[in-house]
Every structure is written in structure tokens, then in C-alpha cells.
Amino acid sequence: MSADTDLTTGPLEYRSHEGRMNILGFWIFIGAEVALFSTLFATYAVMFGRTGDSPVPAELFELPMVLIMTFLLLTSSFTCGIAIHEMRRGSLKGLLTWLAITLVLGLGFLGFEIYEFVHYIHEGASLQSSAFWSGFFLLTGTHGLHVLLGISWATLLIVQLRQRGLTPVTSRKMFIVGLYWHFLDVIWIFIFTSVYLIGMVV
Amino acid sequence: MSSEHSEGFPKKHIVGFIASIVLTIVAAWAALSSGLPTPWIITAIMVLAVIQACIQLFMFMHMTETDSGGIQVGNMLQAFFVAAVVVAGSIWTMSFGYSHNHDGGGNDAEMENHEDMDH
């Protein structure tokens, strides 16, 4: 690290070399996750149109539902950003409030996604029904599992934040959960665009 | 305690949030109501998605902060390059020349008839 790196000012999560390295390391992990999701997107794209006897996506995809899910996740990404903003102002209460709102929105998203999956399965589109739907459920399901993991992780962190308050360590952990949550929204933007919108157009 | 840009009103977040909502609505409109040719629609909404991803990375995730900001940006550029190569390369090798025979309801019925005849 360069000599002019100042560890005494700035946000708490950047006050130690360890904290900074953890955050850089998490960025590299996110890069790997982007590569992982790209293989699922590629599989989905290759399977596109190969629906066999099962319903075609344009029959099942509904814009209002997809928009609700998108707005829930977009808003949760925004409130997560506000949570980090509150953390940097030194407000534990603000952080916990906005983080709780984020998780409620995340749970709302998951609820809609589960409803959507159940609905599709009732309509004859499940993991087993065709190559296309396998690709669809694999891609959206992997994203959904990441959301579930993010909710669980942040919930555990809320417990720790309540016990320990804002320290360089808890701030760093919170910042990293925040990165993860925003990353889930980045992936969803591409699912919304390349799965749902293109699925309704083509 | 805090760096200057994180004091007070979270302007960057609110601008980013409003921009994301607008871009999402524009993408949905372009896809379903614009009446543009399909290749144009696909190109346009993918561009909008990349812009939205950049909003997340730069405005919400503080990608350029600290002196490892450059490494972080470089790493994400590399990750998205890999993603683009994997997706475009897969479509090119696996789907080039493949046509979708079930765009509308009418064709579906035809497909089913063919299958009935096969069995």
C-alpha cells in the first residue's frame, strides 16, 4: 500500500489494512460471481426457444409481476445504500432501521419469486419439462438462493451490530454485506432484461 | 469521523435510485410498446441494463473508493469481459443458425400436430 494511505480518517471500514484488504478481496469474489452467473446466462441463452411440449415463455411471463419484483429489489438496493450512508454518519440506529427495511423488501422479492415458480410449475413449466425451463429455473433459482443467503447473512450481522455496535470490524462486515446486496441487484437487472423482457419480445 | 461526501443528504443515492427506476420503465416500454424491430430492442435494453449496472457499481457500491479503487474497477471490467465472451461465444457456437419455430400460438399448434403424427 502506498505511504500516503491514511488510516486515521475516513469511513470506519477503511481504518485498517485488514479491513481494506477484506473489501478488495470481496470485490475479487464479486468478479468471480459475475463469471459464474455468465455461465448460467449462457446456458439459458443457448436453451432459449427449446421448450418442447412445455409452454413458451411469452405465455407465462407477466410484466406487472416482473416489474413488482424488479422495483422491490431496486428499492432494497437503494435502502441498503442508505443504510451504509447512515453507518458512515455514525448512526447505528439509522443503519439498523434501513437494513431492516432492505431485508423486508428482499423477503418480499423472494415471496414473489416463490409464488412465480409455483405458478409456472402449475402451468406445466418446471425444471424437468424442457431444456429452456431447466435453464430458466437454474438461472433465476441460483439468483434467488443468493438473495436468501444475503438475507440470512445480514440478519446474523444485525445481531452482531446490536451486541458490538459500530466498530472498524462490524463496519467492514456491514460494508461487505452491502456490496453483496448491490451485486444481487446487478445480476437481477440482467435477468430482468435478458430473461423477462427478451422472453416477452421474441 | 466521516469523509465529506457521506455527510448529510445522500444525494448520490437518490439520483441513482430515480435513474434506476426510470431506466427500468424505459426498458420495459422499449421492449413491449415501442414497436421497434427486435434486434434494435435487444440492443437498446442491453445498453440500458449496462447503464443501470454502472449506477449500482459507481453510485451505490463506491467502487472507486480507497487506493485499491483502480484494481476494483479493472477487476470488474475483466469480469464483465469474461461474461460477455462466455455468453456471446456460447450463443455463437451453439445457436448460430438455429431458428425458433414457436413464436406464436399458430405455430405451436403446428408443432403439436407434427408430434402427433410422429407418434
pLDDT in tens, A104-128: 999 999 999 999 999 999 999 999 9
Residue predicted with more confidence, A152 or B8? A152
Q: What pLDDT, on the 0 to 100 scale, is given for residue B8?
A: 76
Instruction: Name the average pLDDT for chain A.
Output: 94
Question: How many domains does chain B divide into?
Answer: 2
pLDDT in tens, A21-77: 999 999 999 999 999 999 999 999 999 999 999 999 999 999 999 999 999 999 999
Residue B53 sits in the same domain as residue B87:
no
Q: What pLDDT, on the 0 to 100 scale, is given for residue B99?
A: 67
Using the predicted structure, report yes or no on whether residue B111 has a pLDDT greater than 60. Answer: no
The distance of B46 to chain A (nearest Cα, Å) reads 7
* Distance from C-alpha of B58 to C-alpha of B71, rounded to nearest angstrom: 14
Residue B50 sits in the same domain as residue B23:
yes
> Which of A9, A46, A189 is the closest to B94 by Cβ?
A46
Contact A200 B66 (CB under 8 A): no
Q: What pLDDT, on the 0 to 100 scale, is given for residue A5?
A: 63
CA A4 to chain centre: 35
Residue B15 sits in the same domain as residue B58:
yes
> Which of B46, B76, B101 is the closest to A193 by Cβ?
B46
Q: Domain boundary residue among B62, B79, B109?
A: B62
Name the residue in chain A with its Cα closest to that of B46: A193
Contact B53 A179 (CB under 8 A): no
pLDDT in tens, B42-87: 999 999 999 999 999 999 999 999 888 999 999 999 999 999 999 9
Contact B83 A63 (CB under 8 A): no
Q: What pLDDT, on the 0 to 100 scale, is given for residue A9?
A: 78
Measuring CA to CA, which residue among A77, A67, A87 is closest to residue B27?
A67
Q: Domain boundary residue among B62, B83, B104?
A: B62
Q: What pLDDT, on the 0 to 100 scale, is given for residue A7?
A: 80
Residue B17 sits in the same domain as residue B49:
yes
- Which of B8-22, B29-43, B96-110 bottoms out in mean pLDDT, i.e. has the lowest? B96-110
pLDDT > 90: what percent of chain B? Answer: 65
- Suggest the residue from A13, A193, A200, A202 to mutate for an interface test with chain B (most B CBs closer than 10 A): A193
Q: Which residues constitute the domain of residue B52?
A: 1-62
Contact B45 A193 (CB under 8 A): yes
Helix orientation angle between A92-122 and A131-164, rounded to the nearest 10 degrees: 160
- Suggest the residue from B56, B73, B93 to mutate for an interface test with chain A (most A CBs closer than 10 A): B56
> Which of A41, A183, A192 is the closest to B87 by Cβ?
A41
- Suggest the residue from A27, A59, A62, A198 to mutate for an interface test with chain B (most B CBs closer than 10 A): A27
Q: Which band of pLDDT confidence, cut at 50, 70 and 90, is reported for residue A6?
A: confident
Q: Which band of pLDDT confidence, cut at 50, 70 and 90, is reported for residue B101?
A: low
Q: Which band of pLDDT confidence, cut at 50, 70 and 90, is reported for residue B96?
A: confident
Contact A189 B53 (CB under 8 A): yes
Q: What pLDDT, on the 0 to 100 scale, is given for residue B114?
A: 44
Residue B1 sits in the same domain as residue B58:
yes
Q: What pLDDT, on the 0 to 100 scale, is given for residue B3?
A: 45
Q: What pLDDT, on the 0 to 100 scale, is given for residue A15?
A: 87
Contacts of A107 (CB under 8 A, 6+ apart): A151
Residue B55 sits in the same domain as residue B18:
yes
pLDDT > 90: what percent of chain A? Answer: 89
Which domains are delineated in chain A? 12-201 (1.20.120.80)
pLDDT > 70: what percent of chain A? Answer: 98
Contact B61 A179 (CB under 8 A): yes
Using the predicted structure, report yes or no on whether residue B2 has a pLDDT greater than 50. Answer: no
Residue B49 sits in the same domain as residue B88:
no
Which residue has 470481496 as its cell numbers? A26
Residue B57 sits in the same domain as residue B9:
yes
Quote the Cα angle for B47-B52-B53, to 5°.
95
Residue B56 sits in the same domain as residue B13:
yes
Contact B28 A197 (CB under 8 A): yes
Residue predicted with more confidence, A180 or B67? A180
Residue B10 sits in the same domain as residue B48:
yes
Residue B83 sits in the same domain as residue B115:
yes
CB A184 within 8 A of CB A143: yes
Which grid coordinates are listed for B71?
484494481
Residue B4 sits in the same domain as residue B57:
yes
Q: What pLDDT, on the 0 to 100 scale, is given for residue B105?
A: 43
> Which of B60, B71, B98 is the closest to A24 by Cβ?
B71
Using the predicted structure, report yes or no on whether residue B115 has a pLDDT greater than 90. Answer: no
The ipTM estimated for the assembled molecules is 0.89
Contact B102 A82 (CB under 8 A): no
- Which of A50-59, A76-85, B100-109 bottoms out in mean pLDDT, i.e. has the lowest? B100-109
Measured in Å, how far apart are chain B's first and last C-alpha atoms? 75
Q: What pLDDT, on the 0 to 100 scale, is given for residue B112?
A: 43
